[in-house]
Structure 1
Amino acid sequence: MKIVRRIGASPQQRGSASGQSCPDVFELSDGNFAVIGTEATATLEKELPPDASRADYERIVIVSRETLVRAKEEIPDA
């Protein structure tokens, strides 16, 4: 599995001063997506709705609204 491309604007385009420590969204070679976000599993796990859960190997991450909104137009419908 490899990163194929960034989805949405780069951290620099979103106004990051360093351009190195911002949320990001990437399309992977297998068609899935990977995100860089702030780890928030311990804080948000208890907030999950009853029909949601996570596996031991999964984490809940926060990605800024701006990151996802700017990525939306590049995410395929199918």
Structure 2
Amino acid sequence: MKIVRRIGASPRERGSAAGQTCPDIFELSDGSFAVIGTEATADLDGELPPDAARADYERIVVISRETLLRAKADIPDA
């Protein structure tokens, strides 16, 4: 599995001073997506709705609204 491309604007394009350590979304070679965000499992695990669950190896990660909205145009429909 490899990163194929960034989805949305780079951190620098979104105003990160360093341009390096901000939320990011990537499309992977198998069609999946990888997300860099703030780990928030402990804070949000108990907030999951009854029909949602995560495996022990999964984490809840938060990205900014701007990151996702700026990625919207790059996310394929199919």
Equivalence map 1:23-62=2 (5 Å)? 23-62=23-62
Q: TM-score, with normalisation over the residues of structure 1? A: 0.99
Q: Which amino acid aligns with 1:28?
A: L
**How much is the aligned-residue C-alpha RMSD, in angstroms?**
0.3
Count of aligned residue pairs for this structure pair: 78
Q: TM-score, with normalisation over the residues of structure 2? A: 0.99
Shift of 1:54: 0.1
Q: Which amino acid aligns with 1:59?
A: R
Shift of 1:42: 0.3
Q: Which residues of structure 2 form unaligned runs of 5+?
A: none
